[in-house]
């Protein structure tokens, strides 16, 4: 899996999940329950991962939605 986005902004995460779901791009949301461990402060970021086969399509989708600046660059530096 490739990290597509990592943020602690709940609105951005919800929007990205909706975009991916509506576009039938499979994804996984990680670190959802970390807020319980941190005391619900929202400090620890959550991550959305996609399969490498869907990465380009997912990145284009986020770019088109104006969220390209939010994506993780790690996978782009291969």
pLDDT at 39: 62
- The distance of Cα 43 from the centroid of its chain, to the nearest Å, equals 16
pLDDT at 33: 73
Q: Higher confidence at residue 64 or residue 10?
A: 64
Q: Spell out the domains of the chain, with CATH numbers in brackets.
A: 2-72 (3.30.70.790)
Is residue 35 within 8 A of residue 41, CB to CB? The reply is: yes
Q: Higher confidence at residue 41 or residue 3?
A: 3
Lowest-confidence range among 13-17, 20-24, 52-56, 73-77? 73-77
Reported as a single tens digit per residue, the pLDDT across 25-76 is 999 999 877 766 666 566 788 899 999 999 999 999 999 999 999 998 754 4
């Amino acid at each position: 899996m490739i990290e597509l986005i990592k943020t602690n902004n709940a609105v951005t995460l919800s929007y990205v999940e909706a975009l991916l779901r509506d576009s039938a791009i499979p994804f996984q949301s990680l670190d959802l329950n970390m807020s319980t461990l941190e005391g619900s402060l929202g400090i620890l970021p959550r991550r959305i991962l996609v399969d490498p086969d869907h990465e380009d399509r997912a990145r284009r989708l986020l770019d088109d939605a104006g969220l390209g600046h939010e994506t993780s660059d790690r996978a782009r530096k291969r």
